[in-house]
């Protein structure tokens, strides 16, 4: 058995007790799936993740990517390729492929529950296996001829990349200088350099389709002037998939990173050695909107990866704390002859473990709650749901994505280092335990697909202000309705209402300042200084809401708990701990937001 310990019991509880996923199974587009089948899938992934996938986790880190600069080819460790092949041979890629091309119709909630275990055990496997997810984009947005590319990507299991970032542009995607020139045959020749390209090359697949943002010759400036092109590593026959000559897109270097070392992060050049031939997706000039469909998927994946790693870290820390004997019980600390005890009996270790438990369970629920919104949207589209209701679901999903990605990655990274690794003491700093790799691998989650600061700005300016407060109001009403419902957990529900009031107060204050900035532009700095703070506070509010709901259900089930008494007791304990130790901080955050002067923006750079 590898390093990874899953928490399928909690996944099942979230899916079926908390979110009632049985209500959507066996009907409409999910007619072929019931709870028993879904659990069978999850149990098989758990076995696969804990064994075959986890087996190469350490090798992938220690051996990394073998890059040949002369040819631009990247090779991966044999053990990792074995794990990847096992994953693909078991056909889990089908959950991302278009149903029309042999994909499996599966609710996003079940899909992301599966992804948690893959990402927790060996995240690079999930990342390299994204070709079918990209095929979905090609199939939905491509022309009839380009849909053949999507079919080949699925049938041949080709890889794919997302090429946005450029050396001088960074997160300012609209400043990219890659250029596309149309050819007489309708194809485009792409020139430019892209950086930090995940899965830019490997020996896992015969071909790779690069989804490249570039500006057509004469195109307007900014993000709206960018198009999305499909640029293959090898040219190919559209009907048979038979590979032809090498296309002009090459890896020029592999980044040396602090973690996620088996995932090839590449600098890539297009059009330097020979033309890099590309196909304009859909033959329409709408690149940034098309690419955002990929980015939304990637942000959900990044948040899920981070949260999965925190859960894995907690499971490791819990196991260690139950067996590591050190020091006397605090009650007997003065008695030098008192017996030594397992460290889980020490108060601060218990505090640390409960922090890890409550956050990992709460953020798992956050991911799956967001996925249930995606469930509802997919069903609504299939069944002709009213357009306004579909728009509400779409807006709510958009609102939650920066929380999943930004809040989820930030909290997971911090807690993995300050709590999970810390549980091991000095041993956690060594390679004898997987925690040091978890910490290194998880840091990237706060950085790629938009840093936490970018997520905070997106959350406030796009998902609240530009949305006219529609989705945040819907969410607030849902939380308030539950908090006022009576029944179990009355004290916790009362505190939840207070936290909701504080978050709403932060939003109201920041919107007011943003309006003032119309006449006094410098006022906007006060908002910019607090967008990340608002993101994190909203995340804490939602986690508390989800944990209290879990505890509410658990208290009812404790009337007849059977073998699950300890599990339900743990649910109640997590919620009570989180509400008492975390929620009060939201009031402090509100006070900080409301007292912001913006003075820091007046300090000279030399004073820093």
DSSP state of 340: E
Instruction: Indicate the SS3 state at residue 156.
Output: coil
Please report, for residues 28, 281, 373, 391, 555, the alpha-carbon distance to residue 288 in angstroms, rounded to integers and kept in the order given.
32, 11, 24, 20, 47
Q: How much is the CA Rg of the chain, to the nearest whole Å?
A: 25
Closest-CA residue to 110 (of 38, 48, 46): 38
Half-sphere exposure of 482 (CA within 13 A, CB side): 22
In the set 116, 166, 267, 449, the catalytic residue is 449
Please, are residues 554 and 531 in contact by the beta-carbon 8 Å criterion?
no
| C-alpha span between 406 and 536 (Å, rounded) | 8
What does the alpha-carbon distance between residue 390 and residue 400 come to, in Å, rounded to a whole number? 16
Q: Closest Cα partner for 360 from 98, 11, 83?
A: 11
**Unique residue bearing structure tokens 């194809």:** 187
- Token pair belonging to 334: 């003065």
Phi/psi of residue 66, nearest 5 degrees: -95, 110
Is the alpha carbon torsion for 414, 419, 425, 428 positive or negative? negative
* Catalytic (active site) residue 449: yes
Query: CB of 180 within 8 A of CB of 188?
Result: yes
- The whole-angstrom separation of Cα 471 and Cα 478 is 11
Burial level of 577, CB count in 10 A (0-12/13-18/19+)? middle
Phi/psi for 163 (5° steps) reads -105, 95
Give the residue numbers annotated as catalytic, written as ranges.
Answer: 449
């Amino acid at each position: 058995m590898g390093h990874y310990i899953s928490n399928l019991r909690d996944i099942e509880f979230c899916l079926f007790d908390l979110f009632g996923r049985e209500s959507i199974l066996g009907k409409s587009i999910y007619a072929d799936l019931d709870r028993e089948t879904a659990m069978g899938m999850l149990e098989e992934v758990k076995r696969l993740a804990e064994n075959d996938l986890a087996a190469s986790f350490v090798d992938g880190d220690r051996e990394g990517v073998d890059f040949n600069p002369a040819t631009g080819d990247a090779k991966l460790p044999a053990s990792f390729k074995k794990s990847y092949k096992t994953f693909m041979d078991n056909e889990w890629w089908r959950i991302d492929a278009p149903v029309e091309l042999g994909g499996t119709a599966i609710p996003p909630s079940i899909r992301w529950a599966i992804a948690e275990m893959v990402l927790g055990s060996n995240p690079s496997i999930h990342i390299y296996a994204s070709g079918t997810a990209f095929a979905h984009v090609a199939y939905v947005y491509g022309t009839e001829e380009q849909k053949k590319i999507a079919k080949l990507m699925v049938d041949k299991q080709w890889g794919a990349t997302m090429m946005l970032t450029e050396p001088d542009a960074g997160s300012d995607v609209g400043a990219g200088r890659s250029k596309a020139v149309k050819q007489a045959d309708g194809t485009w020749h792409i020139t430019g350099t892209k950086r930090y390209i995940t899965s830019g090359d490997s020996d896992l697949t015969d071909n790779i389709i690069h989804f490249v943002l570039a500006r057509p010759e004469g195109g307007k400036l900014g993000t709206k002037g960018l198009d999305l092109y499909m640029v293959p590593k090898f040219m190919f026959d559209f009907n048979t998939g038979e590979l032809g000559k090498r296309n002009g897109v090459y890896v020029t270097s592999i980044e040396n990173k602090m973690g996620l070392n088996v995932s090839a992060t590449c600098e890539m050049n297009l059009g330097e050695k020979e033309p890099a031939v590309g196909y304009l997706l859909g033959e329409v000039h709408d690149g940034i909107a098309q690419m955002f469909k990929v980015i939304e998927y990637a942000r959900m994946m990044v948040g899920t990866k981070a949260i999965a790693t925190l859960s894995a870290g907690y499971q490791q820390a819990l196991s260690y704390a139950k067996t590591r004997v050190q020091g006397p019980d605090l009650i007997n600390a003065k008695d030098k002859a008192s017996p030594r005890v397992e460290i889980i009996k020490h108060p601060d270790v218990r505090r640390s473990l409960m922090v890890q438990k409550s956050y990992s369970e709460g953020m798992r629920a956050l991911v799956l709650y967001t996925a249930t919104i995606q469930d509802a949207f997919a069903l609504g589209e299939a069944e002709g749901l009213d357009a306004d209701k579909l728009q509400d679901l779409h807006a709510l999903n958009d609102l939650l994505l920066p929380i999943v990605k930004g809040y989820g990655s930030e909290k997971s990274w911090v807690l993995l280092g300050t709590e999970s690794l810390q549980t091991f003491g000095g041993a956690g700093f060594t390679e004898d335990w997987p925690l040091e790799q978890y910490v290194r691998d998880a840091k990237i989650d706060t950085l790629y697909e938009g840093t936490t600061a970018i997520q905070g700005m997106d959350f406030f300016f796009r998902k609240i202000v530009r949305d006219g407060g529609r989705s945040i109001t819907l969410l607030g009403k849902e939380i308030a309705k539950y908090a006022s419902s009576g029944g179990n957990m009355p004290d916790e529900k009362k505190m939840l209402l207070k936290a909701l009031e504080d978050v709403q107060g932060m939003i109201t204050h920041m919107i007011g300042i943003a309006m003032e900035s119309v006449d006094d532009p410098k006022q906007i700095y006060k908002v910019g200084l607090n967008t990340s703070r608002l993101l994190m506070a909203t995340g804490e509010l939602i986690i508390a809401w989800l944990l209290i709901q879990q505890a509410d259900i658990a208290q009812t089930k404790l009337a007849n708990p059977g073998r699950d008494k300890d599990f339900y007791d743990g649910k109640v304990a997590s919620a009570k701990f989180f509400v008492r130790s975390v929620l009060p901080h939201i009031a402090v955050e509100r006070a900080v937001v409301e007292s912001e002067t913006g003075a820091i923006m007046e300090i000279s750079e030399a004073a820093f």
